Amino acid sequence: MSLADLLDHTCDIYHMRRTQESPGYGLPASPSFSYGGEADLVSVPCHFARRATVGGSGMHQTEPRNEIAGRRKLVLPTGTDARLLDKIVHLQTGLTYTAEMPDSIRGHHVAVTVTRTDEQKTVGDLL
């Protein structure tokens, strides 16, 4: 089986952007982090593992609502520009994930552990 046969899903990848914005009233600019409205990488062939062997899946009781969280392994072709804290959208399901540190596996493919929550968390929540 070739890698191309394994990549049976597609995803859009949004890179985190840092800007300097002033809140006004003569206050100094401070860093602001956000994702662009357009995907940086569109319809990237990939594979989302069905079983998360990295743990941390399930529903958690939180206030004021339940949080649905999960971690999965994502396989991408070699050379894909995947970065820490990228927003990754699974195009078949519409679910949104946040990327952890990507690993190049012997120049053959890129493996990324991705975390899903009901809402995309900000950089301050993840650090």
Print pLDDT tens along the chain (127 aa): 688 888 999 999 999 999 888 888 888 988 888 898 899 999 999 999 876 544 555 555 666 665 666 788 999 999 999 999 999 999 998 889 999 999 999 989 999 999 986 665 555 554 4
As a whole number of angstroms, the distance between CA 46 and CA 12 comes to 10
Provide the pairing of β-strand 103-105 with 58-60. unpaired
Q: Which domains does the chain have, with CATH numbers?
A: 3-126 (2.40.10.370)
Two tokens at 26?
């003569």
Residues 6+ apart with CB under 8 A from 1: none
As a whole number of angstroms, the distance between CA 3 and CA 11 comes to 16
Q: 3-state DSSP call for residue 3?
A: helix
Sign, CA torsion 41/45/51/54: negative
